[in-house]
Chain A
Amino acid sequence: MTSTTTPYRGEHDDTPLPAGGPNPPAGPDKNTGESLGREAWRRLKQNKAAMASLVILTLMALICFIGPHLLPWALDEVDWSNFQTAPSLENGHYFGTDANGRDILVRTLFGGQVSLSVALVATFVSLVIGVLYGAVAGYVGGRTDNLMMRFVDIMYSLPFMFLVILLMVVFGRNIFLIYAAIGAVEWLDMARIVRGQTLALKRREFIEAAHALGVGGPTIVRRHLIPNTLGPVIIYVTLTVPKVILLESFLSFLGLGVQEPLTSWGVLISEGKDMMESAPWMLIVPSVFLAVTLFCLNFLGDGLRDALDPKTR
């Protein structure tokens, strides 16, 4: 520790607050110049499950996007000598083939590309809409806020899944439509979270102090409001990604999602389900990929919440 940790004067001014009540007093904070973000990252690094999930997710993304190039099969290439064969090391189909002689591993990895990119894009759409909508409602407040949130309430109570399906039925199955539709569903939560944060922050004294300093409105939003909503937003994003993956596979499973020649985990699981008695690997392989991804995302989300939640502080 450097000398900067000791107060300038040896006055009795250094009691850690607040330690009252039967809660055990917190240990002294010995970190110098550590921002909340770095502190959270340090806490996250101590969470083994979350870090393992992060590693697995990175690997998952890498093999989904790089793996197909390293395998000898193309997405819809038919291996005429291997129809519906079980996983095997000898014929090069490590996870077997489907009834049309297509390699399950390659198809699963391609499906992963679609599922992951849908998830990222749709989450990004919901992030942008949600943060803007929520921040505006919260910051402007008053009647505008009331009106904007009433709208969200109404949207919230709509049976959204069915409207998305309706959308698919009407406009045909189109991957961009899936992006947009899912993104449009998921922004509601984000908007609520950001609005709540903004409202709470607006009442905090440091915002008032910034007003008193003469700092302008847009600067206050940029410098004081948005950085402080980041924590909950990050947590929520990690929880939105698995929700979106689930939604997409749900639609695809029903035959309302992505279409041939594209595939996704949902499509593959749906195909596998029909063949599960004769070719269970067709069901099991994409299911495992999907489940592992969702599992890790949830673990990571939980870990991030523990690391970022101000209540743990």
Chain B
Amino acid sequence: MLSYTLKRLAFAVPTLLVVITISFFLMRAAPGGPFDGERQLPPEIEANLKAAYHLDEPLPMQYLRYMGNLAQGDFGPSFKYKDFSVTELIMQGFPVSLEIGGLAIGLALLIGLPLGVIAALKRNSTIDYLVMSLALGGIAVPNFVIAPIMALVFGVLLGWLPAGGWNGGALPNLVLPVIALSIQQIAYIARMMRASMIETMGSHFIRTARAKGLSEVQVVLRHALRPSLLPVVSYLGPAIAAIVTGSVVIEQIFGIPGIGRYFVQGALNRDYTLVMGTVVFYGALIVLMNLLVDLLYSALDPQIRYND
């Protein structure tokens, strides 16, 4: 187990390096500098600014400096939000994004898994068709369509819930964004769970379990559930990545002060360090999550060979 963990870690580090390197050189290859903007700066001021941000050094130097700073958790200053460092901005936004994203993943599993199991056990019944049609709908309608419509209906027309804003994370403000963020994942997880459950229920060891005289409930709970969960667990990595990505839009639509908003603002404003900082941060987050998912998978499946 330890060696497996180490191996996955050894894989995560180069991945992160690739992310950092790609984003660093992409940003530096950008036409136009960070100080092109509202008005032309006098050359000496621009030179001073560049020196202050070490933009006058040769590229490899800048790269090494950036890596060194990153290692200390310093993402550098924001070019646009002049009073904040990128680290400060991320740390401000992260708890908010984490809350929304974590709740969304939780909700997706809480609803998606049972739906998938029920659909599989009642295969080809009305319930099955209903669940699968809803799931297909959830996959076909993207969250940036659902979110504004939900805001329109429940926020504006019915007035049940706030159509936007954060309000310090009050519960009513959480409901719509979390649901909007999780719908697509609920759909994916339900479909996947159904397919894998159907496959498991058709396998030989389920027949053996029935031949032992177990009741259907015991067969499902003791024998079918855990093997069926494995594909869903390995999907959790991509699911988390999708939720993180989706949160960018959802934060935008509902006006939530998470990292996603800084990211989009930074991208539109060409705030290099901010965009890079968020990309690296998101990258690290996703790599870390993938690592955790891998470990969870190996804990669930006795057949996995750690030295493989």
Contact = CB atoms under 8 A, between A and B. Distances in A.
In the complex, is A directly touching B at CB under 8 Å?
yes
A277 interface: yes
A157 B151 CA distance: 33
A107 to B, nearest CB: 17
A169 interface: yes
Contacts of B149: 276, 283-284, 287
Interface string A138-175: 00000000000000011001110111011111111000
Interface string A227-239: 0000000000000
A302 B140 CA distance: 13
A154 B20 CA distance: 13
A256 interface: yes
Contacts of A249: 142, 144
Contact of B152 (A162, A283, A298): A283
Contacts of B30: 169-171
Contacts of B127: none
Contacts of B11: 153-154
A20 to B, nearest CB: 12
B23 interface: yes
Given A170-B27, A254-B267, A298-B136, 16 more contacts: A22-B207, A153-B11, A157-B12, A159-B241, A161-B245, A162-B282, A167-B26, A249-B142, A254-B248, A254-B264, A273-B144, A273-B253, A283-B148, A284-B149, A298-B139, A298-B140
B203 to A, nearest CB: 12
B270 interface: yes
A298 B140 CA distance: 7
Contacts of A172: 31
B15 A157 contact: yes
Interface stretch (A25-33, A72-80, A87-95, A289-297): A289-297
B245 A295 contact: no
A269 B141 CA distance: 12
Please give me the 6 A-B residue pairs with the lowest Cβ-Cβ distance, nearest first.
A295-B140, A294-B140, A170-B30, A273-B148, A161-B245, A287-B145
Contacts of A130: none
Given A163-B279, A295-B140, A158 B15 contact: yes
Interface string B125-154: 000000000001101111011001101100
A187 interface: no
A242 interface: yes
Interface centre among B142, B249, B252 (most CB of A within 10 A): B142
A299 interface: yes
B287 interface: yes
Interface residues of B, number: 49
Interface in B3-24: 11-12, 14-15, 18-19, 22-23
Given A157-B15, A166-B275, A169-B275, A291 B267 contact: no
B52 interface: no
Given A170-B27, A249-B144, A159 B286 contact: yes
Given A162-B279, A269-B144, A283-B152, A170 B19 contact: no
A27 B276 CA distance: 61
A188 to B, nearest CB: 11
Interface centre among A168, A169, A269, A297 (most CB of B within 10 A): A169
B244 interface: yes
B102 interface: no
18 contacts: A154-B14, A157-B237, A157-B287, A158-B19, A159-B282, A159-B286, A162-B278, A166-B276, A170-B26, A242-B140, A273-B144, A277-B156, A280-B152, A291-B140, A294-B139, A294-B141, A295-B136, A302-B136
A103 B152 CA distance: 23
B144 A291 contact: no
B268 interface: yes
B267 A256 contact: yes
B282 A276 contact: no
Nearest to B29: A170
A291 B245 contact: no
B283 interface: yes
Contacts of A299: 136
B273 interface: no
Given A166-B275, A254-B252, A280-B152, A159 B19 contact: yes
Given A169-B270, A283-B152, A295 B275 contact: no
A166 B152 contact: no
A159 B270 contact: no
B290 interface: yes
Interface centre among A159, A250, A272, A283 (most CB of B within 10 A): A159
B140 A159 contact: no
A253 interface: yes
Contact of A250 (B142, B152, B263, B278): B142
B8 to A, nearest CB: 11
Contacts of B136: 295, 298-299, 302
A250 B267 contact: no
Contact of B142 (A168, A256, A294, A302): A294
